[in-house]
Chains A and B, each alone.
Chain A
Amino acid sequence: GENVEQHPSTLSVQEGDSAVIKCTYSDSASNYFPWYKQELGKGPQLIIDIRSNVGEKKDQRIAVTLNKTAKHFSLHITETQPEDSAVYFCAATRHAGGTSYGKLTFGQGTILTVHP
């Protein structure tokens, strides 16, 4: 089955700095890679995702890159703000049709703290 490794487990940055979180996956058949943000007392919320036919995707201050050959993908947050502080999870899955139909495999999570 799929295995996703996420690093670092904790990340502390100053407001305005950039933050990068990296994930690697094991199943070369995975083709959808979402990133979730979980704030205290809330459930995970999708912030950005990328599919295997795309190498990079950007949405305002956040961007995700995917290297299919190396089987890793990264989340980049620029100009961080205190409200970016949360737990971030990467995940991977395969499109419908395979045995991992609709099932997300998550990384271990990264606690991001942005200091004012």
Chain B
Amino acid sequence: EAGVTQFPSHSVIEKGQTVTLRCDPISGHDNLYWYRRVMGKEIKFLLHFVKESKQDESGMPNNRFLAERTGGTYSTLKVQPAELEDSGVYFCASTPVAVGLNTEAFFGQGTRLTVV
């Protein structure tokens, strides 16, 4: 069974440009989470989808970030326009039910975003 897949694995863009990250969760997993790790700090929650609905987007930094999950399958995270402080590693995770209810969160390999 394929795991959580993210692409691109690495993206370098200039300040002011737009970047779209994609996450394909494990098939059948209704819950999809986006996280970000900035400059060697902790991994921080961004938002949580249940199927195509946003359950919790309290971690989204600002309105330059837009996440979608049309059809409840893969998700995209768009940053527009990108700023220097957006650099970091963006992780996606999926679970069949909410983390903590006898299941684990499976993480993708991450997308390293560098804004120059």
Q: Which A residues fall within an 8 A CB radius of B?
A: 4, 6, 31-32, 34, 36, 41-46, 49, 51, 89, 91, 93-96, 101-109
Which of B62-70, B74-82, B101-109 participates in binding chain A? B101-109
A46 to B107, CA, bound (A): 9
Interface residue B99 (Cβ < 8 Å from any Cβ of A) = yes
Q: Interface of B with A (CB < 8 Å)? A: 4, 6, 31, 33, 35, 40-45, 48, 55-56, 59, 91, 93, 95, 97-101, 104-105, 107-110
Known: A4-B42, A34-B104, A44-B91. A102 touches B99 (CB 8 A): yes
Known contacts A43-B107, A43-B109, A101-B55; decide if A106 and B99 are in contact (CB<8 Å). no
Which residues of chain A have C-beta atoms less than 8 A from B95's C-beta? 102
Which residues of chain B are near A89, meaning CB under 8 Å? 42-43
B42 touches A106 (CB 8 A): yes
User: What is the distance, in angstroms, from A21's C-beta to the closest C-beta of chain B?
Assistant: 14
